[in-house]
Chain A
Amino acid sequence: MFTDFFYYLRSQGLAVSLQEWLTLCEALDKGLAGASFTRFYGLCRAVLIKSEADYDKFDSAFIRYFRAIAEASEEIPPELMEWLNKPAVTPGNYDEEIARLNSLLTPEQIEEMLAQRLKEQKEEHNGGSYWVGTGGMSTFGNAGNSPTGIRVGGQSIHHRAFRVAGERRFRDFTGDTVLDTRQFQVALRRLRQYSAKTDVPKTELNPDATVDATCENGGTLKLVYERPRINTVKVLMLMDSGGSMDYYSGLCTALFQAVRKSNHFKDLKIYYFHNCVYSHLYTEPTCNPAKWVTTESVLNTLGRDYKVIFVGDAEMAPYELWGGQYAKRKSGLDWLLTIRDHFSHVVWLNPGTGDSYWGVCQTYDAIRHEFDMYTLTVKNLEKALKKLVSAR
C-alpha cells in the first residue's frame, strides 16, 4: 500500500527520492508515527518534502490519496467529535485477543467498518471494543488500546491530519503564485556571473602563489594577493509604464524595488516606455518627455553584454506596434527588434497572460513570437534569469 503512495506523490510532481522514502520507512519502523494519523502526516511531510513551496502540493496529494479516510471523518457528527475530544480513559480493559484480531485488519476494512458503525451508532460508548469511543479496544476513536485503527477526533482539531492538510495553509507558498518583493530579490540573486577580471584592489591571499613566491624568494616569506571574484552582471531594465500596465502596478512596483535593492549587479540602468519602445526612452516612470533620452544613445553607450529585461504586458493597439498610418517612421516592432539584436541576452517578463476580456491580444502574440516571454511568477522569473546567464 505504501509503495503506491510513493509513486503517487511522484506522479503528482513531487520529487520524492528513494533515499527519502527509505528514511520514511525507517522512521515508521521506529514507531515515530505512533498510531496517530496526524503524526503520520507530519512525519511524511518532514521527511519527504523539502520546501514550503511544495507543502500545498503535498497537502492536496495527501488528501486525494487518503480520501476514503478523509470522507469518513467528514461524516462524523459534531456531538460525537466533541465527546471524543474529552477522552475518559478506562484502565485495564486491554484484551490481547481483540488486539491480535484488530492488528490483522487492513486499513480498507477498518475504513469500511467505521463507515458502517457511524450509521449504527446513536449514543456514547466508552471503553468498549465495538463502537466508536474513547479508551476502548475498537479500531476507531481515540486514546484507545487497539494496535491499529483510525483516530477519530482527539487533541486540538488543528492537529488532525486531514484538518491540517485540508486547510491547505501553504497555498501562498506555491511556486506558481505571483511574487512579493522578497521573493523577487531571492530570484534575482540568480543573476550572477563571477569573474576575477575586475578592477578592484587585490585583497585576497592566494596561498598557492604565496608558496611559490616564497620558494623563489629563497625561503623568505612573500605574500601574494589577488582580486576577489565579483559579480560582473550588468542589467538594463525596460519597463512599460503605459495605461494598460496600471492594473499590474503593485506587481511591477515589487519587481522594480527588488531590482533596485539588488546591489549585487555591477551596473543597473532602468528606462521606461509607454506601451512600446520608439525613438525615445523615458528616465522616469511618469513618461515625462522633458526627461527622455534617445533610444539610439542608450544603445550606443551600453555594450552588448548588458542583460536586458523587458517588463510589459505587450498589449497595445495594433498601430502602436506595426505603425499603421505612421508607417514612414520606424515602427515599434522594429525598435523592439533593434534592441533585441543589439544585446546578447534579452528576456521579456509579462505580468499578464495576454488574455484580457476581449480575447488574446494580437500584439501579445506578435511580441511573444519575437521574444522569450515569461509570465511573472516565481518559477518563471527563475527560468527567465537562468536564460539571461546561460550561454546562447
Chain B
Amino acid sequence: MKGKTFGGSQDYVASEELLSAVNIAMTLQKPLLLKGEPGTGKTMLARSIASSLHAPLYIWNIKSTTKAQDGLYVYDVVQRLYDSQFGGEGVDDIEKYVHLGQVGEAFESEERAVLLIDEIDKADLEFPNDLLWELDQMEFTIPQTGRTVKAKHRPVILITSNAEKELPDAFLRRCIFHYIEFPDEALMRRIIGVHYPDLEQNLLDQAIAAFYWVRGLPGLQKKPSTSELIDWIRALTFSGIPQEEILRQIPFAGVLLKKNEDLESLEKSKARRRF
C-alpha cells in the first residue's frame, strides 16, 4: 500500500469501518464523501488525519452562495479597476489580483495536504459538478494569466455532507462514500475516555445510560449528539450532583436538548418511567 495509512489518533476515536474507508480513499486517491448525523465528528476527522500525517490542512467551508470557482481562485476585478483609476502600482501584473482559494492552495502545497470541503450540500445543486474536472485531474487553469495550477502531490480530499441536497450522480461516482453511524455505547466510552481520561466509572455509567435513554425517546426533534454529551459530562462533573441522581433526575437537560418541545417531552417521559 502506498503512503501511510490512517489508524485514528490520540484525540479522535473512529470506528473500524470509518478507518478502512479513509484508507481506501487514500490508497485509491479519491475523495472521501462523509455523511452522518450532526455531531458525529465529520469535520474533526479531517483535522485528525492532517495531524497524524503531519500534513497541512485546508478547510473550505461551503455556504449557500459559494461558487465552485471561489475554491480555485478569485480574480479581484473590482480592486484592479480601482487601482487603475487611481494609478496604483503594478496594475499590469494580473497575478497580483489573482488569489488562490483553498483548493488552489492545497494543490500548490509543497507537501501532501489534506483538503476538507465542508458541507458541500449547502451550495447550489450544480456546485459539485463544477468541480468534477478539478478533482479528477487535480489541476485547473486561470484564464486571466494563462497559468495552470497543478497539484504537486494529490491531496487527501474529504467532503462532508448533511444530506440537505442530493449530490449529482457523476460526482458520487468519483467518490468513496461512508455513512458515519451514531457511535454505539462501546465506541462512545472510548470517545469520552479521550476527552476525560480520569472520569469516575460510576459517573460515566450513569451519564451514558441517561444519554442513550434520552436519545431513545420517541418524537425528539433534535437528538443530542456526541458533542452535547461531552458538554453535559463537563457540567455534571463541576456541579457535584450525587452520581446516583443523574439517571433519575437528568440535571442540566438543557445542555442535551436544545428545543423547548424536546425538553417538555423529556419531562413527560421522566414522569412516566419507573425508576
The answer for the CA separation of A195 and B192 in the assembled complex, in Å, is 49
Count A-B contacts at CB 8 Å: 72
A: number of interface residues (CB 8 Å): 35
Nearest A residue (CB) for B176: A46
In chain A, positions 203-233 with a C-beta closer than 8 Å to chain B are 205, 207, 214, 219-221, 223
Q: Which residues of A contact B1 (CB under 8 A)?
A: 30-32
The answer for the CA separation of A252 and B33 in the assembled complex, in Å, is 33
Asked if residues B77 and A55 are in contact (CB atoms below 8 Å), the reply is no
Partner of A50, one of B25, B81, B82, B175: B175
Q: Tell me whether B30 is interfacial, beta carbon within 8 Å.
A: yes
In chain A, positions 1-59 with a C-beta closer than 8 Å to chain B are 15, 17, 19-20, 23, 26-27, 30-32, 39, 42-43, 46-47, 49-52, 55
Asked if residues B85 and A49 are in contact (CB atoms below 8 Å), the reply is no
Asked if residues A189 and B164 are in contact (CB atoms below 8 Å), the reply is yes
Q: Tell me whether B52 is interfacial, beta carbon within 8 Å.
A: no
Asked if residues B165 and A46 are in contact (CB atoms below 8 Å), the reply is no
Write the nearest CB–CB distance from A31 to chain B, whole angstroms. 7
Q: Tell me whether A90 is interfacial, beta carbon within 8 Å.
A: no
Nearest A residue (CB) for B19: A42
Question: A31-B1, A39-B20 known; A46 and B178 CB under 8 Å?
Answer: yes
Partner of A32, one of B24, B164, B175: B24
Partner of B179, one of A20, A31, A32, A52: A52
Q: Tell me whether B225 is interfacial, beta carbon within 8 Å.
A: no
Q: Tell me whether B23 is interfacial, beta carbon within 8 Å.
A: yes
Partner of A30, one of B21, B28, B82: B28
Write the nearest CB–CB distance from A274 to chain B, whole angstroms. 25
Q: Which residues of B contact A42 (CB under 8 A)?
A: 17, 20-21, 24
Asked if residues A169 and B175 are in contact (CB atoms below 8 Å), the reply is no
Partner of B33, one of A32, A50, A214: A50
The answer for the CA separation of A50 and B167 in the assembled complex, in Å, is 10
Write the nearest CB–CB distance from A187 to chain B, whole angstroms. 10
Q: Tell me whether A159 is interfacial, beta carbon within 8 Å.
A: yes
Q: Tell me whether A181 is interfacial, beta carbon within 8 Å.
A: yes
Asked if residues B27 and A220 are in contact (CB atoms below 8 Å), the reply is no
The answer for the CA separation of A363 and B162 in the assembled complex, in Å, is 40
The answer for the CA separation of A42 and B35 in the assembled complex, in Å, is 16
The answer for the CA separation of A189 and B162 in the assembled complex, in Å, is 14
Asked if residues A189 and B176 are in contact (CB atoms below 8 Å), the reply is no
Write the nearest CB–CB distance from A196 to chain B, whole angstroms. 15
Q: Tell me whether A186 is interfacial, beta carbon within 8 Å.
A: yes
Asked if residues A15 and B21 are in contact (CB atoms below 8 Å), the reply is no
**Interface residue SS majority, chain A:** helix
Write the nearest CB–CB distance from B177 to chain A, whole angstroms. 5
Q: Which residues of A contact B35 (CB under 8 A)?
A: 52
Asked if residues B27 and A30 are in contact (CB atoms below 8 Å), the reply is yes
Q: Which residues of A contact B167 (CB under 8 A)?
A: 50
Asked if residues A47 and B169 are in contact (CB atoms below 8 Å), the reply is no
Asked if residues B173 and A20 are in contact (CB atoms below 8 Å), the reply is yes
The answer for the CA separation of A344 and B35 in the assembled complex, in Å, is 37
Write the nearest CB–CB distance from B65 to chain A, whole angstroms. 9
The answer for the CA separation of A173 and B9 in the assembled complex, in Å, is 30
Q: Which residues of B contact A15 (CB under 8 A)?
A: 169
Nearest B residue (CB) for A23: B28
Q: Which residues of A contact B85 (CB under 8 A)?
A: 219-221
In chain B, positions 7-52 with a C-beta closer than 8 Å to chain A are 16-17, 20-21, 23-25, 27-28, 30, 33, 35
Q: Which residues of B contact A250 (CB under 8 A)?
A: 219
Interface residues as binary, A50-75 with B (CB distance below 8 Å gives 1, 0 otherwise): 11100100000000000000000000
The answer for the CA separation of A170 and B30 in the assembled complex, in Å, is 25
Interface residues as binary, A90-114 with B (CB distance below 8 Å gives 1, 0 otherwise): 0000000000000000000000000
Extra pairs beyond A23-B30, A31-B1, A55-B179 (12, CB < 8 Å): A15-B169, A17-B173, A20-B173, A23-B28, A42-B20, A46-B20, A50-B169, A50-B175, A52-B35, A181-B221, A189-B164, A250-B219
Which 4 pairs show the lowest CB-CB distances between chains A and B? A50-B172, A52-B179, A50-B177, A46-B21
Residues in chain B within 8 A of chain A (CB atoms): 1, 16-17, 20-21, 23-25, 27-28, 30, 33, 35, 77-78, 81-82, 85, 163-165, 167, 169, 172-179, 181, 219, 221
25 contacts between A and B (CB under 8 A): A17-B173, A20-B173, A31-B1, A32-B1, A32-B23, A32-B24, A39-B20, A42-B17, A46-B24, A46-B176, A46-B177, A49-B177, A50-B33, A50-B175, A51-B172, A52-B179, A55-B179, A169-B181, A170-B179, A181-B221, A207-B77, A214-B81, A221-B81, A223-B78, A250-B219
